[in-house]
């Protein structure tokens, strides 16, 4: 019983920003977050979520604090219960062309743009997004302090992990299904042995010397 009470209180605090915005007249706050910004390979993926204001899913938290099994289970609940959700991915080629920060912002803007119904305010993990037709509220460590951003972080992580697992079959030498494109020792060793593949971000310092070799 005490654990249930503690979780209910945690979720109430996590939903505080959204509840305050609704009291100010914003009926559809959307949380948005990206995953894969620090990877050496693969897309950067963003998700946007307008959460159901009537309920909260037990266990929702920053995706980095959750196991893969928990993320999968929670992602299904989020997709089923949300008012709206969407995901967007930006390719490694685009990341190399416009840089990872701009690619991350583009992914988040695209995820927000495909929500239906659309949001009337956006809650973003850390960065400000330009050009939106509604207010944007950057929140440092937003996936720890906003319920809808936490939901978005889970969907983005699950989607990107799925993409990298699928891409592993096309490029089996790199171990993408295991490390998802991050700079794991196994990944760096594969880069030394085989060089980069089309999924690699050639403008990233850990990849470029091997691309030139």
Which tokens hold the place of 42?
């693969």
Q: pLDDT, tens digit, for every residue of 119-146?
A: 999 999 989 999 999 999 999 999 999 9
**Domain span at residue 98?**
2-169
Look at residue 61 and tell me if it is in a domain: yes
Q: Is 208 helix (H, G, I), strand (E, B) or coil?
A: helix
Tell me how many domains the chain contains.
1
Over residues 171-197, the mean pLDDT reads 96
* % of the chain beyond a pLDDT of 70: 98
Asked if residue 180 belongs to a domain, the reply is no
Confidence band, pLDDT 50/70/90 cuts, at residue 210: very low
The residue among 109, 131, 132, 108 whose CA lies nearest residue 120 is 132
Is residue 213's pLDDT more than 50?
A: no
Asked whether residue 110 is assigned to any structural domain, the reply reads yes
Residue 188 tokens read as 């760096």
Domain contains 189: no
CA atoms of 95 and 109, how far apart (whole Å): 15
- 7 falls within a domain: yes
Q: What per-residue confidence (pLDDT) applies to 3? A: 84
Rounded to whole angstroms, how far apart are CA atoms 40 and 32? 22
Domain assignment of residue 178, yes or no:
no
148, part of any domain: yes
Instruction: Say which CATH number the domain at 92 has.
Output: 3.30.420.10
Is there a domain that residue 109 lies in?
Answer: yes
């Amino acid at each position: 019983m005490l654990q249930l009470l503690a979780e209910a209180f945690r979720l109430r605090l996590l939903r505080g920003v959204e509840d305050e915005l609704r009291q100010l007249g914003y009926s559809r706050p959307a949380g948005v977050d990206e995953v894969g910004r620090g990877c050496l390979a693969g897309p950067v993926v963003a998700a946007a979520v307008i959460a159901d204001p009537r309920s909260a899913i037990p266990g929702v938290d920053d995706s980095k604090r959750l196991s893969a099994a928990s993320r999968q289970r929670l992602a299904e609940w989020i997709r089923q219960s949300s008012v709206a959700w969407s995901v967007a991915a930006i390719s490694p080629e685009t990341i190399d062309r416009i840089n990872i920060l701009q690619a991350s912002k583009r992914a988040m803007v695209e995820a927000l743009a495909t929500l239906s119904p659309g949001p009337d305010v956006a809650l973003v993990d850390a960065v400000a997004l330009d050009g939106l037709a509604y207010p944007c509220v950057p929140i440092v460590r937003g996936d720890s302090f906003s319920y809808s951003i936490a939901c978005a972080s889970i969907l983005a992580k699950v989607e990107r992990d799925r993409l990298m697992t699928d891409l592993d079959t096309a490029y089996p030498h790199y171990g993408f299904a295991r490390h998802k494109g991050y700079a794991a020792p196994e990944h760096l060793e594969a880069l030394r042995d085989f060089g980069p593949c089309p999924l690699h971000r050639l403008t990233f310092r850990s990849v470029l010397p091997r691309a030139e070799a």
